[in-house]
Amino acid sequence: MTSTLNNDVADTARRLAERPERIWAAFEHAASEGRAAFIPFMTAGYPTPERFPAVALQLLEHADLLEVGLPYSDPLGDGPTIQRASEEAIEHGTSTRATLQAVKALRARTDKPIVVMTYINPVYATGPKEFMRLCVDAGVDGLILPDLPPDEDLGIRFLAAEAGLALTFLIAPTSTPERVRVVTSACTGFVYAVSVTGVTGARDGGALSEVPALIALARAHTDLPVAVGFGVKDAATARIVAVDAGADGVVVGSAFINALKAGDDLGALAAKIVSGCRK
Amino acid sequence: MQLPTYPLPDARGRYGVFGGRYVPETLIPALDTLRDAYAEAKTDPAFLSSFETLLREYVGRPSRLYLAENLTRHAGGARIYLKREDMNHTGAHKINNCLGQALLAVRMGKKRVVAETGAGQHGVATATAAALLGLECVVYMGREDIRRQALNVFRMKLLGAEVREVTSGTATLKDATNEAIRDWVTNVRGTFYILGSVVGPHPYPAMVRDFQSVIGEETKWQLQAAEGRAVPDAIIACVGGGSNAIGIFAPFAYLPEHQRPQLIGTEAAGQGVDTGFHAASVAGGKVGVLHGSMMYLLHDDEGQIQAAHSISAGLDYPGIGPEHCYYSDHNVARYVPVTDAQALSALQLLARTEGIIAALETAHAIHQAVITARELGEGKVIVVNLSGRGDKDVAEVMRLLGPGLTGPGLTGSELGDQA
């Protein structure tokens, strides 16, 4: 009996470590090349379900990790760009299962870590356990749930650990030291530092002035990699975050959606941002 | 005066499984600060005295508890009392909460307030409180509601507020609330979010309830004077998010079961709960998370929020406050669906029997009042929360009924226009 339990615990511990390890390796690989990890974001099913795989693969060519957005009707943490992309993706029939099937198809083409960003309601609607099972089956490495503070639902953290999925929670410029402690101690993949008080979307670089203090606060509480997102849109803003503020990773989302709308070359934009990530 | 203390929510802002704080981390420190500031204000005699004075001198409280003899005769059963929140300054119960929160905003040193609005009543009440207390005010309102409630939009502007049109999603109250929360996330350090219903992240559902519970507390002593009993046999109120209902329910909801009146919330059934065109979250929804709170919610199997449909913009919301969800699950209150057509008919009934034109929201409660009065029978007493007046709805009602009252009333195609 005891040995079975021990085996279970060992098994859980092994699975718990597996996927974060791939995430950590991606950050370490970028660091070994003297840059912050580049983490592009794209809404699943955007611009259309047919074109999404090619767009994601193009971003993956430059990426260290890929963040895929599972579209939600009421994305509280997102600005107009990702809101509209989510609405269009849902109109095009991008369901939870469709999103995870698309990730599964990407997984067959890449060994780079893929994290899924969505809101808590689609997770609850599918059932957290089933949702995690679908994620693991699709080859997802981690989850970002921006409207779930880590102390709001301990069950999700338990299930993610059991499934071996890394969880990333967010800290913000308004976070007190105590909140940074609570949030970073709950993260199992990397820490996501929100660069500005606000929602996602491209801004002027001047808005990023609070990032260095936030990263310093995070580092005082965790050894996990700290990625910065919201408001990074080009090489210059990437440099502020990666070089000036010393982030371990840079997340860029809305800028790629805007580039798709404008018909700009995603690869060129990605390459420029990667150059901005070089320390 | 004192603000009441209730057993719920728990320390984590939960009403059983409902409630909570499902919001971006950016807001968590602000919600902590708000919770602590409100707890302090709640026991500060100076704050309570300011609130009481404004309710009395500015709002015109206490609102009357009026025995509707003609409606009672028409129904032929229990005596029907109307709690006249429609007689408040700005025409609805919303002002009670707005003044409470605006006073708290001033106390916390905030210079700017934001709010969401559906029918425009909460927006007008917020703009009013902001004008009175010298606060900058921005109100988010869905494009669809701006069309339906043009007069209230202009009222807000007259009061010095900026009205920002929301075109995302369904362009109604749900989306206006998203946008107000996004504004708050962005400007959280200098801005106070005046939420208009018993929804949202903790402490909002509790705070709004406390400010609105003056409705139920007054009812107790007014009914004691009129009937020699503080507790009626039934209380009826309409429920969108549920702030007027919680205001009159909560002071009675925690009484021992044998002393508790029937508490009946009327949800907007739109064209019917089976049609998919409704806003009945308890009757037609399932548990989910919206606007920071776990609640009964209209959403599909994927967790995508569904559009709510109601003739009344104020009930056109896909969720219902967490405390109502708790009441429903624990049989403290029950929630019954009332259709657009029934509400429109009840609006005309009250106008003709009592000379009171109620808001379309409130008309949902009037419909149920007649049913419950008949069920209970003579000698019993029911109180209906007459939450708002119908001035804002007259143009829409005229569109539906025709200027000569000879129009088709509510047909499928008319409702199709609204959807």
Candidates B282, B184, B276; CA nearest to B241 is B282
> Is B1 inside a domain boundary?
no
- Domain end (from B180, B208, B236): B208
**Pairwise CA distance, residues A278 & A239, whole Å:** 8
Buried b (16+ CB within 10 A) or exposed e, A34-50: ebbbbbbbbbbbbbebe
ipTM score for this prediction:
0.93
Print the domain residue range for B73.
Answer: 65-90+214-418
- Tell me: do B255 and B118 sit in the same domain: no
User: Could you report the per-residue pLDDT of B228-260, keeping only the tens digit for each?
Assistant: 999 999 999 999 999 999 999 999 999 999 999
> Is B160 inside a domain boundary?
yes
User: Could you report the per-residue pLDDT of A183-217, keeping only the tens digit for each?
Assistant: 999 999 999 999 999 999 877 666 789 999 999 99
**Pairwise CA distance, residues B215 & B251, whole Å:** 9
pLDDT value at B417 more than 50: no
Average pLDDT across chain A, whole number: 93
- Tell me: do B411 and B355 sit in the same domain: yes
Fold of A2-276: TIM Barrel (3.20.20)
Q: What are the residues whose beta carbons fall under 8 Å from the beta carbon of B352, sequence distance 6 or more? A: none
> How far does the CA of residue A201 sit from the closest CA of chain B (Å)?
12
Residue B111 annotated in active site? no
Token pair belonging to B100? 């409470």
Candidates B70, B407, B375, B1; CA nearest to B213 is B1
pLDDT at res. B419: 30
**Pairwise CA distance, residues A174 & B172, whole Å:** 30
- Tell me: do B105 and B131 sit in the same domain: yes
Question: What is the count of structural domains for chain B?
Answer: 2
- Tell me: do B362 and B235 sit in the same domain: yes
- Which of the following is catalytic: B63, B110, B116, B144? B116
User: Could you report the per-residue pLDDT of A106-161, keeping only the tens digit for each?
Assistant: 999 999 999 999 999 999 999 999 999 999 999 999 999 999 999 999 999 999 99
> Is B2 inside a domain boundary?
no
pLDDT value at A4 more than 60: no
Residue B284's alpha-carbon distances to B198, B268, B395, B415, in angstroms, are 20, 11, 30, 19
Active site positions of A, annotated: 67, 78
User: Could you report the per-residue pLDDT of A20-34, keeping only the tens digit for each?
Assistant: 889 999 999 999 999
Does residue A92 sit at the B interface (CB-CB below 8 Å)? no
- Tell me: do B118 and B240 sit in the same domain: no
Strand order in the sheet with B14-15: B14-15, B18-19, B293-297, B286-290
- Tell me: do B254 and B308 sit in the same domain: yes
* Interface touch B26/A79, C-beta < 8 Å: no
Q: Are B264 and B236 in contact (CB under 8 A)?
A: yes
CATH number at residue B169: 3.40.50.1100
pLDDT band at B193 (very low <50, low <70, confident <90, very high): very high
**Pairwise CA distance, residues A188 & B220, whole Å:** 54
pLDDT value at B400 more than 60: yes
| 3-state class (DSSP) for residue B303 | coil
Q: Are B264 and B235 in contact (CB under 8 A)?
A: yes
Question: Where do we find the tokens 């219903």?
Answer: B197
* Interface touch B25/A80, C-beta < 8 Å: no
Scanning A136-165 for CB atoms below 8 A from B yields 146-149, 152
Among the residue ranges A42-51, A127-136, B149-158, B195-204, the one predicted with the least confidence is B149-158
Question: Where would I find the H helices in B93-227?
Answer: 94-107, 121-133, 143-148, 150-158, 173-186, 204-212, 214-227
Does residue B11 sit at the A interface (CB-CB below 8 Å)? no
Strand order in the sheet with B191-193: B162-166, B136-142, B112-117, B191-193
CA dihedral B354, B356, B359, B365 (to 10 degrees): -20
Token pair belonging to A220? 């005082």
**Pairwise CA distance, residues A156 & A158, whole Å:** 5
- Which of the following is catalytic: B110, B144, B387, B396? B387
**Pairwise CA distance, residues A115 & B382, whole Å:** 56
Strand-pairing partners, residue A170, are A192
The maximal CA–CA distance of chain A, rounded, in angstroms, is 62
The maximal CA–CA distance of chain B, rounded, in angstroms, is 56
Token pair belonging to B345? 């008919």
Q: Show the 3-state SS of A68-112.
A: EECCCCCCCCCCHHHHHHHHHHHHCCCCHHHHHHHHHHHHCCCCC
> Is B34 inside a domain boundary?
yes
pLDDT at res. A203: 74
Token pair belonging to A122? 């689609």
* Interface touch A125/B301, C-beta < 8 Å: yes
- Tell me: do B171 and B257 sit in the same domain: no
> Is B5 inside a domain boundary?
no
> Is B8 inside a domain boundary?
no
pLDDT at res. B411: 47
Q: Are B308 and B279 in contact (CB under 8 A)?
A: yes
- Which of the following is catalytic: B83, B94, B110, B392? B94
pLDDT at res. B119: 81
| 3-state class (DSSP) for residue B324 | helix
pLDDT at res. A18: 56
CA B326 vs. chain centroid, Å, equals 17
Amino acid at B249: F
pLDDT value at B418 more than 80: no
Alpha carbons within 13 angstroms on the beta-carbon side of residue B372 total 30
pLDDT at res. A13: 52
The mean pLDDT of B252-280, rounded to a whole number, is 97
- Tell me: do B121 and B198 sit in the same domain: yes
The torsion region of residue B308 among left (phi > 0), alpha (psi -120 to 50) and beta comes to: beta
- Domain end (from B184, B208, B232): B208
- Tell me: do B236 and B140 sit in the same domain: no
More confident residue, A50 or B415: A50
The mean pLDDT of B36-55, rounded to a whole number, is 98
CB count within 10 Å of CB B30 equals: 20
User: Could you report the per-residue pLDDT of A72-101, keeping only the tens digit for each?
Assistant: 999 999 999 999 999 999 999 999 999 999
Supply the DSSP symbol for B419: -
Q: Which residue of A has its CA nearest to B304?
A: A73
- Tell me: do B19 and B167 sit in the same domain: yes
Q: Which residue of A has its CA nearest to B202?
A: A152
Residues of B whose CB is below 8 A from A84: 168
Among the residue ranges A108-117, B83-92, B147-156, the one predicted with the least confidence is B147-156
**Pairwise CA distance, residues B35 & B360, whole Å:** 34
- Tell me: do B293 and B410 sit in the same domain: yes
pLDDT at res. B405: 84
The mean pLDDT of B44-53, rounded to a whole number, is 98
* Interface touch A76/B185, C-beta < 8 Å: yes
Percent of chain B whose pLDDT exceeds 90: 90
User: Could you report the per-residue pLDDT of A226-243, keeping only the tens digit for each?
Assistant: 999 998 999 999 999 999
pLDDT band at B413 (very low <50, low <70, confident <90, very high): very low
Does residue A80 sit at the B interface (CB-CB below 8 Å)? yes
* Interface touch B29/A80, C-beta < 8 Å: no
Token pair belonging to A23? 């995430």
Does residue B185 sit at the A interface (CB-CB below 8 Å)? yes
**Pairwise CA distance, residues B209 & A47, whole Å:** 44
Does residue B186 sit at the A interface (CB-CB below 8 Å)? yes
Q: Are B358 and B61 in contact (CB under 8 A)?
A: no
| Rg of chain B (C-alpha set) | 20
The mean pLDDT of B341-353, rounded to a whole number, is 97
**Pairwise CA distance, residues B265 & B240, whole Å:** 9
Residue B343's alpha-carbon distances to B270, B338, B361, B369, in angstroms, are 9, 7, 8, 11
pLDDT band at B350 (very low <50, low <70, confident <90, very high): very high
* Boundaries of every domain in chain A: 2-276
